[in-house]
């Protein structure tokens, strides 16, 4: 077994710790406490190391290395679910070779389930799933690469904005909470202008585009003093009744805070027309 496995840069896998656990120069001990050649031991999680279940079936009907426990005999999985000593002349169905996989430099990720220094360990090709602690985002799978280092990830603190109410808009009841970078579209109610994109930046909402909903200005109709959208005799009577007066007046069409001849000329120019 030793010579055959050596051709592939490997060593025969040790059957039982009492036979070859310390025979590291010629065999590979996987950490089991029972017989690999004996199915009831091999398939019992109490006897096998973590992860062994993935390769347990490899020993079905094969033999295992036992150093010189019984001279040149090996323990073979024959008949099924038992193990018996056999030498090559009696039975030689084959055996399992293996080698220690290269390992990566221990690694850790702050604010995760692997925050303790050096808690992420593994051999080349192995993958570990990192889960971020509450209040942090990121994580994911890290893999032990051929360069002897794990791929990296990080857990960053989640920043969030509380819900805020935007008056006179589709979000008058509140925007809802949002994480940093999230934007909300604000549409103003009828009769209001403004709106746009509200952006969550760290813990505060701010306008990315647009702004608050201001009431839309009402279009004025020059000469229409009573607001019925037509310039007629009623408007002329209102103007004549306030003629010469100052301050805010309905007939102050030129907005100079005084009803005078200029306002009368505006009314006469629009007389009979609809707004």
Whether 23 and 93 map to the same domain: the answer is yes
Mean pLDDT of 199-224: 83
Whether 18 and 88 map to the same domain: the answer is yes
Residue 66 has pLDDT above 80, yes or no: yes
Residue 219 has pLDDT above 70, yes or no: no
| Res 65: pLDDT | 94
Domain of 47, in residue numbers: 1-100
Whether 87 and 108 map to the same domain: the answer is no
Residue 187 has pLDDT above 70, yes or no: yes
Q: Whole-angstrom Cα distance, residue 131 to residue 119? A: 13
Q: Choose one of 158, 178, 194: the last residue of a domain.
A: 158
Q: What is the share, in percent, of the chain residues with pLDDT greater than 90?
A: 41
Whether 76 and 152 map to the same domain: the answer is no
Mean pLDDT of 96-106: 87
| Mean per-residue pLDDT over the chain, rounded | 89
| Res 119: pLDDT | 94
Whether 196 and 225 map to the same domain: the answer is no
Whether 179 and 118 map to the same domain: the answer is no
Residue 218 has pLDDT above 70, yes or no: no
Per-residue b or e along 202-238, where b marks 16 or more CB atoms closer than 10 Å to that residue's CB: eeebeeeebebbeeeeeeebebbbeeeebbbeebbeb
Mean pLDDT of 67-89: 87
Mean pLDDT of 237-263: 87
| Res 91: pLDDT | 76
Q: Whole-angstrom Cα distance, residue 48 to residue 66? A: 17
Whether 64 and 18 map to the same domain: the answer is yes
Whether 89 and 105 map to the same domain: the answer is no
37-56 confidence digits (pLDDT tens): 998 998 888 888 877 888 88
- Between 110 and 102, the higher pLDDT residue: 110
Whether 193 and 228 map to the same domain: the answer is no
Whether 81 and 67 map to the same domain: the answer is yes
| Res 134: pLDDT | 86
Mean pLDDT of 215-236: 82
- Between 91 and 93, the higher pLDDT residue: 93
Q: Choose one of 51, 66, 100: the last residue of a domain.
A: 100
CB-count exposure of residue 116 (10 Å: 0-12, 13-18, 19+):
exposed
| Res 217: pLDDT | 65
Whether 112 and 89 map to the same domain: the answer is no
CATH number, domain with residue 227: 1.10.1330.10
The total number of structural domains that make up the chain:
4
CATH number, domain with residue 127: 2.10.70.10
Residue 26 has pLDDT above 90, yes or no: yes
CATH number, domain with residue 209: 2.10.70
Q: Choose one of 59, 80, 100: the last residue of a domain.
A: 100
Whether 165 and 148 map to the same domain: the answer is no
Residue 197 has pLDDT above 80, yes or no: yes
């Amino acid at each position: 077994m030793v010579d055959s496995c050596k051709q592939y840069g490997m060593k025969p896998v040790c059957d039982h710790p009492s036979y070859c656990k310390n025979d590291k120069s010629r065999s590979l001990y996987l950490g089991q406490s029972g017989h690999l050649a004996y199915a009831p031991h091999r398939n019992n999680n109490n006897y096998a190391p973590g992860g062994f279940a993935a390769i347990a079936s490899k020993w079905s009907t094969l033999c295992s290395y036992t150093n010189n426990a019984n001279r040149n005999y090996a323990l073979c999985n024959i008949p099924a679910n038992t193990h018996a000593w056999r030498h090559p002349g009696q039975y030689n169905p084959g055996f399992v070779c293996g080698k220690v996989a290269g390992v990566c430099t221990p690694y850790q990720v702050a604010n995760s389930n692997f925050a303790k220094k050096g808690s992420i360990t593994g051999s080349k090709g192995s993958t570990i799933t990192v889960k971020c602690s509450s209040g942090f985002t990121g994580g994911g799978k890290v893999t032990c690469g051929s360069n002897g280092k794990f791929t990296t990830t990080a857990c960053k603190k989640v920043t969030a904005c509380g819900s805020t109410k935007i008056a006179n808009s589709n979000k008058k009841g509140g925007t809802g909470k949002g994480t940093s970078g999230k934007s909300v579209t604000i549409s103003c109610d009828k009769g209001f202008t403004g709106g746009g994109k509200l952006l969550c930046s760290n813990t505060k909402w701010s306008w990315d585009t647009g702004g608050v909903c201001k009431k839309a200005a009402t279009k004025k109709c020059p000469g229409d003093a009573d607001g019925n959208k037509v310039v007629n005799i009623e408007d002329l009577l209102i103007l004549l009744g306030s003629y010469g007066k100052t301050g805010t007046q309905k007939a102050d069409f030129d907005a100079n805070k005084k009803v005078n001849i200029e306002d009368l000329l505006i009314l006469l120019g629009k007389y009979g027309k609809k707004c």
